[in-house]
Structure 1
Amino acid sequence: MPEWNLAGPRYKYPVSSAELERRLSAVQAAMRDKGLDCCIAQTQSTIFDSITRYLTDSAANPYSTTLLIPAQGGLVLINHGVEMDPAPIPPTLRNVEKLIRKPYCQPFGCTDGMIGAVLSREIRSRGFRRIGVILRQLMSADTLEGVREGVPGCELVDFTAEFSRIKAVKSPEEWALIDRCLRAHEQLMAMVPALLRPGRMEYEVLADLEHASRYLCCDWLGNVAVGSAPGGGGVPFHQNPAANRRIERGDGVTVMIEVSGPGGIYGELARTFCLGEPAPALLELYETARDVQHAVAAAARPGVTGRELNEVFDDFVTARGIAKNGRFAGHGQGYDMMEAPVICPQEEMALEEGMFLAIHPELMRDGQFSICCDNFRVAAGGAERLTRTEQRIFALEF
């Protein structure tokens, strides 16, 4: 990977400075086209880190990381830490011209407004008035209120759609990171048969997969989940607090692996295993899940919206006695575990070549649950499956 000497031994898979400059230039050009003076953004989660990681190649702080993105020039980054205003900028933190550290923390009401006050001061000092907001659901109320009150006469403009379109189409460097992510998911899923045996707890299998993901240099665990059911049946997967059932001979086991690979880009892979023979109803439901995934992928061509793909999904499953999509049948992926475009009734964003998708129909019928989850790249003729793991229910002999 590029620039090992820049990041040193503390950083595994940095992207090049040229790639970071490409991203920032594309975002700033779109901002200027919309007549914005700057944008503001905030990240409080490593599973939704597309803004900070995308523009700086540095992971967000769980205490929250806030960015001021001028329409021209370098970024201002506000992070949790010992009070330093400004703070020294480490060499690994690129695209940033000013770093500010403040001792705030979400559960401490006495620090409410601290980020908003600093952000407002920086905006006022630059004379900015027309301010874009990126992914406002990720921004705290006290930060947005602080900007509204601290920058009199400012205009807040939603810039989410424009930003999402830019980052959804992956560059060659991003596709190299995606390839590492896909291979890690495949290796983890290939371990599952060796981890399953009668008497093990669901959380033990889950813990083994989390542990192995670290050894494969995956950045963040995201969502690793396991569920089991008696009689070779299908069951939804559970995260660690609820993964508390003992697996026995004859059970069906659903495994979901949704981690960010080396370099921070997320992928997603789910399969079902049976400690014996799977129930016929589960086999039939899995075939339907696989077939609807293929139908959606074939329709996922440039220019098609997430809403239109949702219609393909609904038409396919309702004809087979299965309920319509009640959540998301698939979505984009990147530094966000789930990013636009999404396959749901509300999504009007159109697909473009070079987008990275997970298509993961989750179907329920007659008490059975099945999922077929794989990773895809949008191409001119539809989405191409990138995951190499076989698409079947794996029957294990015990």
Structure 2
Amino acid sequence: MTDARGYEPFDQAEFDHRIERARRAMEENKLDAIVVSSEANLEYLSGMVTQFAWVTPTRPFFFVVPRDGEPTAVIPGIGYTNWQDTSWCQNIITWPSPRPGDEGISILKALFASLRRKHGRIGFEIGPESRIGMPVADLWRLKSEIDFEIADCQMLMANLRVIKSPAEIARIRLMCGIAGRAFAELPRTARIGDSERKIHREFIASLILNGADAVPYLAIGSGRGGYTSIIMGPTDRVLARGDVLILDTGSKVGGYYCDYDRNFAFGNPSDQVVRVHEALWLATEAGIAAARPGKTAADLFYAQANVLSSHGHKVGNVGRFGHGLGKIVTEFPSNAPGDRTFLRPGMVFTIEPSVDYDGKIMAHEENIVITEDGAELLSPRAPREIPVIGA
């Protein structure tokens, strides 16, 4: 049953399925256990939700999932009740942290010694796009003091998380709708003469008031006829006629992100801005149309790039035109020329073409989920013509 937060809590079957899939992947990767300590992976497997662990580096939190045996939380004593109240796993071992000389390391060593050994390898988050939630020196210490090889489990976890359950997709869809309402309100609240900082602050408030749990990322850029960055902001720059504004938000609800942007013209846009926006809108359409099972992430890139090229725009070293989305604002895989990851139902992507012109940049982005026979938009589709503020 949907609660006051607007989404259904995950049931035990959801977590049982995640652990079962993790164990199958451990066997395939010849691992006797995995240890996760990053927010996304720890929350994904354990269900534990906290603000505390991720804003302070003092106390690491670990979740140990053996190939065969009971998962165990290895956490600072201060987190005990938080874990009890939010996680399905009640097998908890604590230590009195902070204790810099031994932040859970001796507990991990004892757990590893009790494992049913088969492969002699334990996975930690040390691969591509990983952020391990423990001091690197402690990992080196473990490596020297245990009779196991330390291997990577980051890509194992990325491949587990890449297919979203219906309950996960529902949270992403909810967050996309929340952001959509905030974007729809902006033309009625922003004015010529407002600063980026004012618009940024008021947009964050709108996201929260519309139902977002948090706004970890909100880029803003503006400039005459375009902007120069899509990852900056805010500054004290004041919006004037002839300017173009972008807002790009990675906001989340229930632990899941949206990630899409919208462009706005302040006063009537120039012909060049109209043309660039049209090309980006059509490239996004092509990316959405190409997103279907059996295609690759690279196919999504080329579908967008071909449209931009046909409109006279050079596609240079842009890196990618979108990426996976879920518990992290930018997830595996990348819509990039070399990424041959096959699309499967349940994958969630951003479609994100961009154009460089006259020393400026303009980008456009939507969020989709791959279905059995194509793709479904999760974000409300942007209007084909750039919205105008203060015409």
Matched, 1:348 2:348: no
Give deviations 1:210-260, integer Å, cap 9, x for gaps: 222222332231211222213x434434545x4221122332211112201
Return the offset for 1:265: 0.9
1:359 and 2:337 aligned: no
CA 1:118–1:173 in 2, change beyond 3 Å: closer, same or farther?
same
| Distance in 1 separating the partners of 2:95 and 2:73 | 9
Which range is displaced more, 183-192 or 166-175? Answer: 166-175
1:394 to 373, 387, 390: 387
Q: Report the CA distance between 1:342 and its aligned residue.
A: 1.5
Task: Name 1:46's counterpart in structure 2.
Answer: none
TM superposition shift of 1:346: 4.4
CA distance in structure 2 between the partners assigned to 1:321 and 1:267 by the alignment: 28
| 1:39-86 deviations in Å (ceiling 9; x for gaps) | 12221xxxxx3212211222361134322111234432334554x9x8
Q: State the alpha-carbon separation in 1 of the partners of residues 364 and 286 from structure 2.
A: 12
What's the counterpart of residue 258 of structure 1?
250
RMSD (CA atoms): 2.9
Secondary structure at 1:329 match in 2:
coil
Partner of 2:87: 93
Supply the distance in 2 between the matched residues of 1:189 and 1:311 (Cα, whole angstroms). 28
Task: Say if 1:213 and 1:396 are closer, same or farther in 2 by CA, change over 3 A.
Answer: closer
TM-score by length of 2: 0.85
The 10-residue stretch of structure 1 (92-101 or 347-356) with the greater mean CA deviation from structure 2: 92-101
Say whether the 8 Å CA contact 2:355–2:362 is kept in structure 1. Answer: yes
Counterpart in 2 of 1:170? Answer: 164
Aligned mates of 1:141, 1:257 — CA distance in 2: 31
Q: 1:15 maps to what in 2?
A: 10
For the residue of structure 2 that corresponds to 1:358, the secondary structure is: strand
- Identity, in percent, stands at 22
1:107 maps to what in 2? none
Q: In the aligned structure 1, how far is the partner of 2:305 from the partner of 2:223? A: 27
- 1:37 aligns with 32
> What residue number does 2:189 align with?
195
Distance 2:76 2:286 in 1: 46
Per the TM alignment, residue 186 of structure 1 is displaced from its structure 2 partner at its CA by 0.6
- Residue 393 of structure 1 aligns to a residue in which SS? coil
Out of 290, 293, 299, the residue aligned to residue 290 of structure 2 is 299
Partners of 2:17 and 2:91 in 1: CA distance? 17
Q: Tell me the matched-pair count.
A: 377
Structure 1 match to 2:324: 332
Question: Within the alignment, does 1:50 sit opposite 2:40 as a pair?
Answer: yes
Q: Secondary structure at the match of 1:91?
A: helix
Cα distance change, pair 89–236 in 1 and its aligned pair in 2 (3 A) = closer
Where do residues 190-269 of structure 1 align in structure 2 (5 Å cutoff)?
Answer: 190-230=184-224, 232-237=225-230, 239-240=232-233, 242-261=234-253, 263-269=254-260
Task: Give, as a single letter, the amino acid of the residue that structure 2 aligns with 1:280.
Answer: D
Identify which of 273, 295, 309 aligns with 2:264. Answer: 273
The match for 1:75 among 62, 67, 71 is 71
Which stretches of structure 1, 4 residues or more, deviate above 6 A after TM superposition?
A: 9-12
In structure 1, the gaps of 5 or more residues are 44-48, 105-109
| Structure-1 separation of matches of 2:10 and 2:193 | 44
Alignment counterpart, residue 124 of structure 1, candidates 94, 113, 116: 113
Q: Secondary structure of the residue that 1:364 maps to in structure 2?
A: strand
Structure 2 unaligned blocks of 5 or more: none
Q: Give the match's secondary structure for 1:50.
A: helix
Deviation at 1:159, TM superposition (A): 3.1
Give the alignment of 1:51-66 within 5 angstroms: 51-59=41-49, 61-62=53-54, 63=57, 64-66=60-62
The more displaced of 341-350 and 285-294 is 341-350
1:150 aligned residue: 145
Contact 1:88 1:99 (C-alpha < 8 Å) held by counterparts: no
Between the aligned partners of 1:29 and 1:193, the Cα distance in structure 2 is 50
Give 1:193 deviation, angstroms: 1.0
Gap change, CA 1:116 and 1:388, over 3 Å in 2: same
Equivalent position SS for 1:249: coil
CA distance in 2, matches of 1:379, 1:11: 23
- Quote how far apart the aligned CAs of 1:307 are: 3.3
Q: Distance in 2 between matches of 1:396 and 1:323?
A: 30
- Counterpart of 1:138 in structure 2 is 131
Paired AA for residue 386 in structure 2: I
**Cα 1:275–1:310, aligned 2, differ >3 Å: closer, same or farther?**
closer
- Partner amino acid for 2:68? Q
